[in-house]
């Protein structure tokens, strides 16, 4: 699949630089590899299928660029150190173990689906002299610019601003330092706050600026229309793709190695679905993930047209649900 077609996949990509812009960056830094990146934390509820959307997409984008003759470095960051900053001290060792499990899960995805992703843990570099020195430079740059410092503050939820201020906004500066030298960062739309600060700092330094690529939001399964109507924040922004327990909705997620087929079937059966593309469609989202999994297993690099087929009436709501029930077991759950 060429980059243009991949980036225009309906139901998968929400916002992205153009293929031309990504190719231009690749040409600019050649013969160095263009750095493609996706980073995630995790919780103790397991590995949500929704993370796999990002793994598959990053791998597909890397392959599409290689077919154009570019050198590519696609990496997945398991932010174990960041995850530990949000838990009590007595739980930190346990969360480091969970981080190792998430990294191993990505490696299994690599093996099963031949994704070719480089897996990195934050704990492998965060305490290095080079990283600490760069983080301090970035922090000093922001401290000297009130507008930049305010932008850093906006990366933190209001309920945690005072806590993070006491820590010197270390979590935010770790994130910004990690991403500032990247080329293309793939993630959910809510991460743009970090990306924007990184771009502003790079601009101030006269360096290349990070390009952000956002995939469609993740929504809970097993919910009816009224749930999304009442919970406007979730309807607009979804839930955290990589944390199975986001919004305490782990019972409404497909969790690889934990969720049972019968339970998933019931979730799909009860899920709200609409032919209005402006409304949440968790069934379609899972269906697209399954399509990416199938195509990787079968060596098929043709475009994904599931969203087009559904919204154009080529496949009914009932047919889509039945297809997703079959495909999630056949192409994903049965492989782990």
Inform me whether the pLDDT recorded for 98 exceeds 90: yes
User: Does residue 331 have a pLDDT over 90?
Assistant: yes
Task: Give the model confidence (pLDDT) of 138-173 as tens digits.
Answer: 999 999 999 999 999 988 888 888 888 888 899 899
Residue 105 confidence (pLDDT) above 90 = yes
Average pLDDT, the chain: 95
Cis before 205 (ω within 30): no
pLDDT at 44: 96
Residue 133: band (very low, low, confident or very high) from pLDDT cuts 50, 70, 90: very high
Which of 14-18, 41-45, 188-192, 300-304 shows the lowest per-residue confidence on average (mean pLDDT)? 188-192
Give the model's pLDDT for residue 106: 98
Residue 101's nearest CA partner among 37, 39, 38, 47 is: 47
Helix (H) or strand (E) holding 203: helix 192-205
Judged against a pLDDT cut of 90, whether residue 229 lies above it is answered with no
pLDDT digits (tens, 9 = 90+) for 63-76: 999 999 999 999 99
pLDDT of residue 160: 82
pLDDT digits (tens, 9 = 90+) for 284-316: 999 999 999 999 999 999 999 999 999 999 999
For residues 164 and 110, what is the distance between their CA atoms, to the nearest angstrom? 35
Percent of the chain whose predicted confidence (pLDDT) is above 70: 100
Nearest to 184 by CA among 64, 45, 91: 64
Cβ atoms within 10 Å of 47's Cβ, excluding its own: 23
Q: H-helix or E-strand containing 74? A: strand 72-78
pTM, 2 dp = 0.95
Going from the N-terminus, what domains does the chain have, and what CATH number goes with each? Answer: 3-215 (3.40.50.620), 225-335 (no CATH)
DSSP 35-46: EEEEEE---TT-
d(C-alpha 33, C-alpha 253), whole Å: 36
Looking at residue 189, its pLDDT comes to 80
pLDDT band at 240 (very low <50, low <70, confident <90, very high): very high
Whole-number pLDDT of residue 265: 96
| Digit-coded pLDDT (tens) for 258-286 | 999 999 999 999 999 999 999 999 999 99
Query: Does residue 7 register a pLDDT over 90?
Result: yes
CA–CA separation, 150 and 197 (whole Å): 10
pLDDT in tens, 22-41: 999 999 999 999 999 999 99
CA angle 307, 332, 50 (to 5 degrees): 60
- DSSP structural state of residue 239: B
């Amino acid at each position: 699949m060429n980059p243009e077609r991949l980036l225009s996949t309906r139901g998968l990509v929400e916002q992205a630089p153009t293929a031309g812009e990504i190719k231009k960056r690749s040409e600019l830094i050649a013969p160095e590899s263009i750095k493609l990146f996706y980073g995630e934390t995790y919780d103790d509820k397991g590995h949500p299928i929704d993370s796999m959307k990002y793994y598959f997409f990053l791998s597909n984008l890397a392959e599409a660029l290689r077919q154009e003759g570019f050198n590519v470095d696609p990496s997945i960051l398991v932010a174990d150190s960041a995850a530990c900053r949000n838990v009590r001290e007595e739980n930190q060792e346990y969360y480091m173990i969970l981080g190792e499990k998430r990294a191993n899960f990505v490696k299994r995805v690599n093996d099963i689906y031949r994704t070719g992703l480089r897996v990195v843990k934050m704990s492998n570099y965060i305490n290095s002299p080079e990283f600490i020195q760069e983080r301090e430079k970035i922090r000093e740059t922001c401290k000297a610019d009130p507008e930049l410092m305010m932008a850093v503050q906006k990366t933190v939820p209001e309920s945690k601003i005072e806590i993070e201020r006491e820590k010197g906004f270390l979590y935010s500066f770790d994130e910004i330092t990690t991403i500032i030298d990247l080329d293309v960062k793939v993630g959910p739309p809510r991460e743009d706050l970090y990306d924007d600060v990184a771009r502003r700092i790079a601009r101030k330094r006269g360096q290349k600026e990070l390009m952000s690529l956002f995939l469609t939001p993740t929504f809970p399964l097993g919910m009816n229309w009224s749930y999304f109507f009442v919970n406007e924040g979730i309807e607009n922004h979804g839930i955290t793709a990589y944390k199975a327990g986001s919004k305490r909705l782990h019972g409404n997620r497909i969790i690889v190695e934990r969720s049972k087929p019968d339970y998933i079937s019931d979730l799909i059966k009860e899920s709200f679905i609409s032919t209005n593309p402006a409304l949440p469609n968790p069934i379609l989202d899972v269906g697209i993930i399954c399509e990416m999994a199938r195509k990787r297993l079968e060596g098929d690099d043709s475009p994904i047209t599931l969203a087009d087929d559904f919204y154009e009436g080529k496949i009914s709501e009932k047919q889509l649900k039945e297809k997703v029930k079959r495909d999630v077991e056949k192409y994903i759950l049965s492989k782990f």
